[in-house]
Amino acid sequence: MRSLPELKAECSRCVALCCMALPFDKGEDFALDKPALHPCPNLTDHHCTIHDSLRERGFPGCARYDCLGAGQRVVEEVFGDADWQHDASLRAPMGEAFAILRRVHAGLELLSVAERLSLPEPLSRERAELRALYHPQADWTLAMLRAFAAQDPDKRLQAFLKALRPHV
């Protein structure tokens, strides 16, 4: 069984995917509107020009955001170190992969906590099957991520988590 990826963002290994892929609306968390798949105006060559003062400049949502390591995996594993800033045609596929892999990592985080529980055989088996679904033996590809998302695995994960209540 392959060990789980580190579920921690390493921004230096990413190409600012969250700053491009995610949309945000002007309000409490963001000082301006930004559509999905468009670079934030505060982004310059993979670096946020206001990173040291995000909260003060009206971007507490950015300061709180954590991709759980999905960004660097999309760049390195799914796209072989390709960069949307050098090839704008990669914005949409990288943004799509980022959104799905972020969901994968959120699921893996929950499954990691569940692995600490002593469970009856049926739930233990479901936990192992979910782990395999969220963390396949092969590296992720965009096609694999799309197939994963099409299965609606979050519904299955939520049912599993509900079944854990008596064991927590």
In angstroms, the CA 50 to CA 93 distance is 27
Q: What does the pLDDT look like over 95-152, one tens digit per residue?
A: 999 999 999 999 999 999 999 999 999 999 999 999 999 999 999 999 999 999 999 9
Residue 153's pLDDT band (boundaries 50, 70, 90)? very high
Which sign does the torsion angle of CA 116, 121, 122, 128 carry? positive
Q: What is the pLDDT of residue 21?
A: 97
**Is 0.75 topped by the overall pTM?**
yes
Q: What is the pLDDT of residue 45?
A: 85
Residue 14 confidence (pLDDT) above 80: yes
Q: What is the pLDDT of residue 168?
A: 86
CA distances from 152 to 50, 55, 100 (A): 37, 35, 11
Can you tell me the mean pLDDT for 29-41?
97
Q: What is the pLDDT of residue 68?
A: 97
Q: What is the pLDDT of residue 46?
A: 82
Q: What does the pLDDT look like over 40-97, one tens digit per residue?
A: 999 998 899 999 999 999 999 999 999 999 999 999 999 999 999 999 999 999 999 9
